[in-house]
Structure formats: C-alpha cells, structure tokens
C-alpha cells in the first residue's frame, strides 16, 4: 500500500510539473537599438513607434517631406508617431515638426548611432517636444543644424 501511495504522489507531482511552467523560464529578449543598428542597411535612417527601437515604423535612404501622405518611405499614420531613431546614414539627419520641412527642426548627428527614446528635453528648434511629433526629414550639413537630439 505504501508503494501505491508513493507512486500516486510521484505521478501527481509529475503531472503538476507538466501543467505549471517552471519559474525560471523567461521570455525571449526583445530587440534593442544596438541590435537594430547592427542589422540596419548602410545609408538608411530608421524610425520606431516605441522606445528602445521597438515597433518598426519605417526607414528611408533619402528624404521625405511629408510622413503623412501616400508617397515616399513614410506614409499615412506614420506622421507624428516616432519615438526612437536609428541613424546609419553617415550624415546628419534633420527631423521637422511639420511637413515640407517647417515648424522647427531637431537633428541626429552623423556619429550618433541612435536615440533610444525621445525625451521631454528633445525639443525642436521652435521649442515643441519632438516625441511623436515628427512630420518630415532630410539629410543636411552639420552647420545647418542648431538643435540636436540627446
């Protein structure tokens, strides 16, 4: 009888182990800005909806004067959605508050790989916060930038 009780107890514990996942199992790590920079194509700028370069928004090798229209690399609801940026262009990239390169600008330097999260101190040259407010971008010379992302 003791053997039967011990066997049933062992089987019960084994069954519970199969039903309840082990506490040490962790979710797969998410991508981050370092990973995305390494995987990025040379000459491109990338934008992401969330901090830490998560939730890909779009990429561009050239310019885009209107992130909300239906042409170029950023389209439709991409306007006013960027929270993090990867820059593998080798150039300075200026981001603008409004379409057609208006409404103030903020730049990412050619040597800066990424901005993992636009913060409250990342403001356009007109004083407005840049997070979720980018509507156009273009590459330009460093001496034409007056405001840079942290």
* The dihedral sign for the CA sequence 70, 74, 80, 81: positive
pLDDT of residue 143: 79
Query: Does residue 48 form part of some domain?
Result: yes
Q: In this model, does residue 30 exceed pLDDT 80?
A: no
pLDDT band of residue 31 (cuts 50, 70, 90) is: low
Query: Does residue 102 form part of some domain?
Result: yes
The whole domain housing 79 covers 43-144
Q: In this model, does residue 149 exceed pLDDT 50?
A: yes
Domain harbouring 99, CATH code: 2.60.20.10
Question: How does pLDDT run across 54-70, given as a tens digit for each residue?
Answer: 999 999 999 999 999 98
Query: Does residue 149 form part of some domain?
Result: no
Question: How does pLDDT run across 68-80, given as a tens digit for each residue?
Answer: 998 899 999 999 9
Question: How many helices and strands (H and E) does the chain possess?
Answer: 2, 7
Q: In this model, does residue 86 exceed pLDDT 70?
A: yes
Query: Does residue 22 form part of some domain?
Result: no
Q: In this model, does residue 10 exceed pLDDT 90?
A: no
Q: What is the 3-state secondary structure (H, E, C) of 12-66?
A: HHHHHHHHCCCCCCCCCCCCCHHHHHHHCCCCCEEEEEEHHHEEEEEEECCCECC
The number of distinct structural domains making up the chain is 1
Top pLDDT among 21 and 120 is at: 120
Name the 3-class secondary structure at 13: helix
């Amino acid at each position: 009888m003791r053997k039967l009780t011990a066997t049933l107890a062992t089987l019960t514990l084994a069954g519970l182990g199969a039903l309840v996942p082990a506490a040490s199992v962790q979710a797969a790590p998410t991508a981050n800005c370092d990973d995305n920079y390494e995987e990025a194509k040379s000459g491109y700028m990338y934008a992401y909806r969330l901090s830490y370069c998560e939730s890909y928004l779009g990429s561009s090798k050239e310019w885009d004067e209107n992130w909300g229209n239906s042409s170029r690399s950023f389209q439709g609801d991409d306007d006013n959605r960027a929270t993090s940026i990867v820059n593998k262009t080798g150039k300075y990239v200026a981001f603008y508050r409004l379409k057609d390169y208006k409404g103030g600008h903020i730049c990412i330097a050619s040597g800066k790989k990424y901005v993992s999260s636009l913060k409250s101190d990342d403001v356009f040259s007109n004083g407005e916060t840049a997070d979720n407010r980018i509507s156009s971008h273009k590459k330009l010379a460093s001496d034409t930038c007056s405001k840079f992302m942290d």
